[in-house]
Structure formats: C-alpha cells, structure tokens
C-alpha cells in the first residue's frame, strides 16, 4: 500500500468535510478507516489498499452532503493520484455498497465492501454512535426522544448485521453500552411522583 496516497486521501477528506459537524465529518471517515484496517487484519483475503481508500472516501459523495453523481469526488481524487481505472472501479463499487440508507439491508458483494460497511456500522454504535445520533438529531431540529427512536429502529439492530467475525466481536461491547445508556436514559427521564 502506498502511504503517500493514504495521507493524500486523509488531507482530501479534511478539505472536503470542512464545516460539517456531527454525523458526517472527516473524523468519522478516519475512524471508519481505522476500524476497517483492524477488521482487514483478520481477513487475509481482502485487498487492503481497496479497503483503506474505500473507507476514507466512503462518504465523499454522500447524497446528504454533496450533489455529485457517479462518485465524482472520490473519482476525481483517485484520478489525481493516477490510480488505474480498474482499481477506481473496485473502490467505487465498495463505497456504493456501504450505505445503510441507500441499500437497506443488501449485503455488499465484495469482501472489501463488507469490511467497510462493518466499520461504518461500528461508528453508529457505542459511545460515538450515541454522540452522533444526538448530533444528527440536533442538526435536523429533532427532539431528544426522536433520536432515541432511532436507537430502536436502527442502532440496536446493527450488531446482528455485521458481515465479518472481527466486527461482530468489536460490536459486542458497543452494543452493551447502547443498552446500558438506554436503560439509564429511561430511568432518568421517566417522570415520577415526588
């Protein structure tokens, strides 16, 4: 793997996500990259270069933030780095199979897509997942309880949807933390006679 390209991708996402906060920012892409590389260590058949670049660029054309077509941001970065066309296609294919909202429950076709999807899902659970859910809800002007609903609709289901064994293991403590948080939240917000 070429470290210069990875460093350039990190610089590119910082530039791209400038001014964004909460759900989708450069820090999210960096965390997804780190988790994806940890999962990749346990998946010897994967192409680590594809995993790394797909993870770093997975939100570069997210429809909620950018009005690009056909992975234009990711492609423009990769072309600048003189990536060969076949590799660009493989990275874009992995990126496009990741999103929960776009693909609902469809499982990615490639191992690299599966790894990046797992890493993205890990970032939606645990302490960071809780922080992101309230940040997202706040951005949309939602009440706290509306973000709590999102826990039940999506977040609590994620641990059983992991594609890889490594991610399933990484999800366990994060899932327990969500449950613990919800229990405490209900306890503290239930109005009782005093």
Q: What residues make contact with Ni ion under the rule CB under 5 A?
A: 59, 120
Which of 5/29 has CB closer to ligand ADP? 29
Which of 5/159 has CB closer to ligand ADP? 159
Which of 35/147 has CB closer to ligand ADP? 147
- Binding residues for ligand ADP, per CB under 6 A? 23, 62, 64, 99-101, 120, 124, 129, 132-133, 136-137, 147, 150, 155
Which of 8/65 has CB closer to ligand ADP? 65
CB of 124 to ligand ADP, least distance (A): 4
SS (H, E, C) the chain: CCHHHHHHHHHHHHHHCCCCCCCCCHHHHHHHHHHHHHHHHCCCCCCHHHHHHHHHCCCCCCCCCCCCCCCHHHHHHHHHCCCCHHHHHHHHHHHHCCCHHHHCCCCCCCHHHHHHHHHHHHCCCHHHHHHHHHHHHHHCCCCHHHHHHHHHHCHHHHHHHCCCHHHHHHHHHHHHHHHHHHHHHHHHHCCCCC
CB of 139 to ligand ADP, least distance (A): 9
CB of 86 to ligand ADP, least distance (A): 26
């Amino acid at each position: 793997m070429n470290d210069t390209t990875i460093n350039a991708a990190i610089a590119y996402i910082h530039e791209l996500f400038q001014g964004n906060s909460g759900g989708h920012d450069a820090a999210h892409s960096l965390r997804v990259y780190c988790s994806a590389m940890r999962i990749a260590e346990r998946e010897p058949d994967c192409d680590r270069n594809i995993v790394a670049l797909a993870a770093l660029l997975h939100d570069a054309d997210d429809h909620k933030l950018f009005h690009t077509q056909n992975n234009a941001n990711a492609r423009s970065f990769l072309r600048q780095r003189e990536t060969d066309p076949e590799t660009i296609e493989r990275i874009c294919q992995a990126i496009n199979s990741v999103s929960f909202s776009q693909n609902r429950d469809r499982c990615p076709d490639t191992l690299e897509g599966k790894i990046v999807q797992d890493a993205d899902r890990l970032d939606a659970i645990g302490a960071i997942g809780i922080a992101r859910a309230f940040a997202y809800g706040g951005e949309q002007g939602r009440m706290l309880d509306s973000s709590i609903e999102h826990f039940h609709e999506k977040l609590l289901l994620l641990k059983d949807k992991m594609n890889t064994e490594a991610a399933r293991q990484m999800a366990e403590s994060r899932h327990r933390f969500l449950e613990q948080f919800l229990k405490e939240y209900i306890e503290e917000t239930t109005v009782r006679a005093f």
